[in-house]
Chain A
């Protein structure tokens, strides 16, 4: 495997990075941001959507801050997992990502912006040629989608990152910067249901940091994921359930989010609200789990089959709620 040649720019500050971004877009040149590179570089080796220039964010100190309320985009996943101020559920999710070596390179921003994955994309060029190409990355070939054939618009590649569902449940806000200015939006509005575009980032725009609301530490919960092996594997399904209990054992707030099942992570607000309204312990958890199972629509493009993943979403939801029933 060999990456096609590309140019690396290493800005020392956010302003410099945005300046570079501006210059490149003005000259009509496409580029990628690279953070830890654990996602981008393997894709480059596979010749998937390779750009001529990448801007490395590794020398920008401003993006590395971490505190209870704010997590920089360039904080490594390992640092997040080990940091004392990290919310315990977030730490658990971070700790379950890939392997320790990848966690040390991979970053929070990179994980949130992880490219979607599919059996028919994440392959070498020769391999993709043998299936007559894939429409996500081999633009111009007129290729069809290999997962759901006979449609040429929607990409159903799967979003398989772990941090987003937990952050969404915690009510995180994502902060973006581009040469045009900065903006902040709730993380749950960040993703866009298409395996190709994935999120609302405009060309030249980047993630600077994530902030958590003040009440984040009042939430407790759990994150459960499904995969073949305890290491390396991307989540085939992931469920975060977070709740607030003010008194007794009835939750006053409840949020559920899933990942690894569709092209974006999803916050299941309706299902969670229904459960909260009619809370009766174990029985409600059963109903909630079933409703989450019905809410997700995985397709056949990862290691496990869609039917198994849906069944397991139910089990994972139940398991994520286990501590709620004990407390």
Chain B
């Protein structure tokens, strides 16, 4: 059934032992003895190889030399990790280091009246103390919402907010000094409930000046209407409505935050930090410390897990730099786990109202979403999150109308931010559970419902996103077949259930937030090859364990026909790395590997030129194999890689090349059109089987069939790892993980005993199914695999629980006690005393099922044609509803016009988050400037 049962596949680079490596000889090509024959299985059919290309040829085809792309490859930095030699943030030890500690607020919201550090400074061993007065400049990850300080200036905004910091000769002294710093506070009434944040407040948590929304704590609000919103309710024959509550979750990475700052003797600052976005830290440091960026080197250490939780510039990084400047010595700050929860940036606690409508042909004629998200005390990535909660569920389905209201409010909690599946996870769960409910109401199979409503490849979504490759149909078909769906769905006994869920995610965000994409690229890669033949890659992409160093090495090795051990990646220091935006929005493989391919192509050109010069062969008939460039028809005629290299190095020394990637122009022009825009999108479909204990409400996930369309698996081993890891992470959110705030507003479980990450006992068997849709613009066809695979696990578990016991949750996590409550309720409604006598749902197909199956078949043919036919015409969302697919419907049909601000009528009875629009911005309200 699955490929895993075949003979074990060889893993490139596996079982390496220091000092015992079978090193490749750079100039071995031509001797036969050392050169490996080309792996025809890896060469595309269009290039005369044996690799089947069901999705048609790809522009990178001719760059494939059969070396490493598509082969399971051990991560290039794995030996460091498994031998314990990888240095993470806290492993950096500089001579004479001091230990920094942070004084934190015990109050949720208070004005800082005074800070007295005298006693702390008198303690022997204390070297420096700093407070908010030492760094008054604001910073933040997004240029539009810089609202953080290194330490409290004027106010503290959540329990755990930074007030002061101290550096001492050792940790014990620093901790003692921490207690000696006396802070006087004046308490302000805190806000804990996100709904309160929508109201006017006497003391809003931040003040945005003229742009402040009323006197409320609304940080960002979004209103969007696309398609025939007015008509959707008339046409609908089945509707779903649910009010969801999602608890906040934390990334819970293994490595707590840690940072070392050192002002070197030459006066420059080096900051050692496990960061996903070293470049943003670089910028923020310059702002806060008031020194030019060229005087700062940000060194990314190994990162012990990020998942979005290390993708903001953090106040403690500023603190370390300030303390180091004051003391003249290196300062190291390492967090306790509790502090990790206080800096948080996890998934937003959310209240989402989801409405779905289906018409008599089983088309999704409308989605109405209202999402109120709890941002905590700071903006972080929240501006984007507010959009993502809406726009990222406008695909993969073709929809008739989309109405979205979203608002993010400040509350006196640790800040929420970006977390794996940024902004898409909660609302995706609500949509997919809604589709399951719609299928139930229409008496059709939920997979058939989805298959009959998919957007085709190379189309535009209702919000105007350009979607290129789509492997959604294959994902759905494969999980249906491999899980035995048709035998099991609605046919399993009480307590056993099976459910489906899908996902859609961006593969890189379309706009770099700090500059114009037309002027400066998203990603840049430099290559340098000297006489030894080894290739040095300089890249700023942050390897956070996802394998970006490996992917960039693979890409270069593939294009140049070199073994992986001839590639070395330098990606740590901002001094030597080209600017890269960092590891977020699943952009690295797509953008950075594309940049690497461009750079490698330049080197390749030079090697080919040199070969022509040496051999006199015709350039177009040369191909690159393993460390050798030769005539395709007569492999005996050719030169070794080293010979060609040395020829091109004549008169100038090392070869250097630079490659860059920027996104093509895309998207519409309305306000917020750029949010959710990406050069490619990933798709996924999971089927999950669960067991539910009807007496206790405990859920056990038994098995997951997880299909993910990553375009092309550059490293299948890493893709499978991402899929399995995503299942684990998402399962935590759906079953047990939550940041639980007690009645005092305090986070009750800031530790890994009470923050319930599923253990190995809870982990089901996961069957990863890789679907390769061969993206036209991705490197070798690749798209993301880091975040998208997380989305489907949540709804597929929810839907499987419904299949098992006929209850639908509207609250995550589905802890046993919540499930038990729902079971009790159902028992009461049905007059049963023993939950074992409940019945699980059944399904009798309605005539609509046939209509859907027929349409799905037709669409399957349409999709195949669209992906192979290069002369395809445009396809805009709306064609399924009878509109002309070649013209964007909002340009021709007034009913489909785009709205980004609410009408007056809407404000008479707005939804929850929609009520944020009741306030006017200060600059627009009377009596204000």
Contact = CB atoms under 8 A, between A and B. Distances in A.
B172 A229 contact: no
Interface stretch (B60-68, B702-710, B745-753): B745-753
B481 interface: no
A230 B760 CA distance: 9
B929 interface: no
Interface string A157-168: 000000000000
B759 A232 contact: yes
A311 B337 CA distance: 33
A127 B338 contact: yes
A197 B841 CA distance: 52
Interface stretch (A118-126, A178-186, A199-207): A118-126
Contacts of A228: 736, 756, 815-816
A129 interface: yes
A261 B817 CA distance: 16
Name which of A5, A122, A130, A131 has the most chain B CB atoms within 10 A of its CB: A130
B817 A308 contact: yes
Contact of A229 (B160, B338, B736): B736
A119 B759 contact: no
Given A123-B750, A126-B338, A304-B817, A312 B696 contact: yes
B762 A229 contact: yes
Given A5-B172, A126-B104, A127-B746, A315 B696 contact: yes
A226 B817 CA distance: 11
11 contacts: A2-B171, A2-B175, A124-B336, A127-B746, A229-B758, A229-B761, A230-B762, A231-B759, A231-B761, A232-B753, A315-B695
Contacts of B736: 228-229
A119 B748 contact: yes
A305 interface: yes
A122 B760 CA distance: 25
B106 A129 contact: yes
Interface string B668-699: 00000000000000000000000000011000
Interface in B716-751: 736, 742, 744, 746, 748-751
Contacts of A315: 695-696
A101 interface: no
A139 interface: no
Given A130-B746, A228-B736, A228-B815, 12 more contacts: A119-B754, A123-B750, A127-B338, A130-B105, A130-B107, A130-B160, A131-B744, A229-B756, A230-B759, A232-B759, A233-B756, A308-B816
Contacts of B233: none
A326 interface: no
B820 interface: yes
B159 interface: yes
Interface in B151-168: 159-160
A159 B765 CA distance: 35
Interface string A198-235: 00000000000000000000000000001011111100
A24 to B, nearest CB: 24
Among B736, B748, B749, the one with the most A-chain Cβ atoms within 10 Å of its Cβ is B748
Interface in A115-163: 119, 122-124, 126-127, 129-131, 146
Given A2-B171, A119-B748, A126 B758 contact: no
Q: Is the interface of B mostly helix, strand, loop or mixed?
A: loop
A292 to B, nearest CB: 15
Contacts of A6: none
Contacts of A230: 759, 761-762
A303 B746 contact: no
Contacts of A130: 105-107, 159-160, 746
Interface string A179-196: 000000000000000000
A270 B337 CA distance: 45
Which of A228, A305, A315 counts the most chain B CB atoms within 10 A? A228
Interface string A1-39: 110010000000000000000000000000000000000
A5 B171 CA distance: 12
B339 to A, nearest CB: 9
Contact of A303 (B106, B696, B754): B754
Interface of B: 104-107, 159-160, 171-172, 175, 336-338, 695-696, 736, 742, 744, 746, 748-751, 753-754, 756, 758-762, 815-817, 820
A308 B742 CA distance: 18
A146 B746 CA distance: 12
A97 to B, nearest CB: 14
Given A130-B746, A232-B759, A311-B820, A226 B106 contact: no
A44 to B, nearest CB: 14
Contact of A1 (B172, B336, B817): B336
A123 B751 CA distance: 8
A326 B748 CA distance: 43
B135 to A, nearest CB: 22
Contacts of B159: 130
A124 B759 contact: no
Given A2-B172, A130-B107, A228-B736, A304 B696 contact: no
A300 B815 CA distance: 16
Contacts of A146: 744
Interface in A285-321: 303-305, 308, 311-312, 315
Q: Which 5 A-B pairs have the closest CB atoms?
A: A230-B761, A308-B817, A130-B106, A231-B759, A129-B106
A230 B750 CA distance: 20
Q: Which of A1, A229, A232 has the most CB of B within 10 A?
A: A229
A229 B731 CA distance: 12
B47 to A, nearest CB: 51
B180 to A, nearest CB: 14
Contacts of A127: 338, 746, 750
A48 B815 CA distance: 30
A99 B175 CA distance: 31
Nearest to B750: A127
Contacts of B759: 99, 229-232
A170 B815 CA distance: 34
A159 B756 CA distance: 20
B696 to A, nearest CB: 6
Contacts of A124: 336, 338
Contacts of B816: 228, 304, 308
Nearest to A125: B179
A127 B338 CA distance: 9
Interface in A59-112: 99
A99 B760 CA distance: 11
Nearest to A312: B696
A118 to B, nearest CB: 11
**Most chain B C-beta atoms within 10 Å of own C-beta, residue among A5, A126, A226, A232:** A126
Interface in A31-62: none
A129 to B, nearest CB: 5
Nearest to A319: B695
A21 B107 CA distance: 42
Question: Which of A1, A127, A131: most chain B Cβ within 10 A?
Answer: A127
Contacts of A308: 816-817, 820
Contacts of B338: 123-124, 126-127
A303 B740 CA distance: 10
Nearest to B695: A315
Contacts of A2: 171-172, 175
Nearest to A309: B817
A290 B499 CA distance: 35
A119 B758 contact: no
A308 B697 CA distance: 10
Nearest to A316: B696
Contacts of A304: 815-817
B813 to A, nearest CB: 10
Contacts of A311: 820
A232 B756 CA distance: 10
A303 B737 CA distance: 11
A99 B753 CA distance: 12
A99 B761 CA distance: 11
A310 to B, nearest CB: 11
